[in-house]
Copies of this chain bind each other. A is one copy, B any other.
Amino acid sequence: MSIEGRSDAGAGRRLKLGMVGGGQGAFIGAVHRLAARMDDQYEFVAGALSSTPEKSIASGNELGLAADRNYPDYATMAAAEARRPDGIDAVAIVTPNHMHFPVAKAFLNVGINVICDKPLTTTRVEAHELQQLVQTKGLVFAVTYNYSGYPMVRQAREMIAKGDLGEIRLVQGEYPQDWLTTPLESTGQKQADWRTDPARSGAGGCVGDIGTHTYQLATFVSGLELDQLLAELTSFVPGRKLDDDAHVMLRFKGGAKGSIWASQVAPGNENGLKLRVYGTKGGLEWTQADPNYLWFTPYGEPKRLVTRGGAGAGASAGRVTRVPPGHPEGYLEGFANIYTEAARAIRARRDGSMVDHEVMFPTVHDGVKGVVFVEACVRSSSAGGIWIKV
């Protein structure tokens, strides 16, 4: 019931964080800043918060950035921060998808660690180029597949790795939402606008936005590698340019099967991300909206409800747990875990020390896998729904 090893960093010990995107009217920028702040590991000191220089500066003022670190654009910021002795330790990239690539490249090129939103890029070629660059530069690159930061997701992963489920046979993922049930993009709503626009989102709509989260979660937890997929992408809302619903069948290496259903047109579903994994010895079930619970169902025994911080919760969940069982943690805490884990890697790199093997966050490799998944889905669906080797 204590919060082991989670002491505040304290002033002067915090990492310096910059941000690109996330200015006025954005949703995810505020989430990233709060997540960075939660465990007192980062101090937000610099930004190029909008693609429009004026809005960028105005947003920075609003957030209290010092004038000399409130930049009109990301290129200027990368150059200036690289030159400063007290330059940022990492940049958070929270722009629409199409900008992830150029921004990440700019900061990697000047030697700055990156924390980037998903999907990594809008094309496979770009994703591979970033992967290459990260390896060359030896920098830390985190991709905010934030659901893998939830304690009970880590618990699930640990249990499967330990063999509690036996050999995995089935992985069922789903992520229904309802916010695009109507043509919201035609009202000018900012989120709907860019997320349904191929020029800014890439070729995947729903599948790129939340299908990729589901896929990352499924593979992170199960430890399986995808072999083939078959996708049926649909745009239900008339006039919509990208898919708002995705059914995907999965064949994993080694013979496991599964499916992913992601939808933005399923009324009554807010963020219904759910993962179920079944093996020869038992099953697991986790739901994002109620993230402090993990159902564990050993075959032939009563179902068990493992709770975050409670009896049965193991080490990998414990190290990302802040409060006692029965006091719920949520989305922001899970998100913050990615930031705090990345901070450990960034400090280790800075200090030339080894990263603790328990540090776990999605990297550029996971980012690449996500882009490959989206591209394969689009390809399969365009071909009429055929099996594709990934």
Chain A residues in contact with chain B, CB under 8 A? 1-3, 6-13, 25, 27, 30-31, 33-34, 37-40, 43-45, 62-66, 165, 169-170, 172, 177-179, 181-182, 191, 230, 232, 234, 236, 245, 247, 249, 251, 257-259, 261, 263, 265-272, 276, 278-283, 285, 288-292, 295-307, 309-312, 322-333, 384-387
Contacts and interface: CB of A to CB of B under 8 A. Distances in A.
Contacts of A40: 33, 37
Given A2-B27, A249-B232, A257-B245, A305 B307 contact: no
B299 A281 contact: no
B302 A296 contact: yes
B10 A270 contact: no
Contact of A63 (B10, B177, B302): B10
Given A257-B245, A283-B268, A300-B311, A323 B333 contact: no
Contacts of A66: 11
15 contacts: A6-B30, A27-B324, A37-B37, A169-B265, A178-B283, A230-B249, A249-B385, A266-B276, A272-B326, A288-B326, A301-B311, A302-B306, A323-B331, A327-B331, A328-B330
A307 B299 contact: no
A13 B322 contact: no
A310 B267 contact: no
Contacts of A323: 31, 330-332
Contacts of A299: 178, 181-182, 267-268
Contacts of A269: 283, 297, 326
A330 to B, nearest CB: 4
Task: Tell me how many chains of this kind the complex includes.
Answer: 4
B332 A329 contact: yes
A253 to B, nearest CB: 15
B325 A270 contact: yes
A258 B232 CA distance: 10
B278 A266 contact: yes
Nearest to A271: B326
Contact of A191 (B1, B230, B309): B1
A285 B40 CA distance: 35
Nearest to A65: B10
Contact of A230 (B43, B230, B280): B230
Contacts of A2: 25, 27
Given A172-B261, A267-B299, A268-B285, 14 more contacts: A8-B44, A11-B64, A169-B245, A230-B385, A245-B257, A247-B258, A249-B249, A269-B326, A302-B304, A302-B305, A302-B310, A332-B333, A385-B387, A386-B386
Contact of A170 (B7, B258, B263, B272): B263
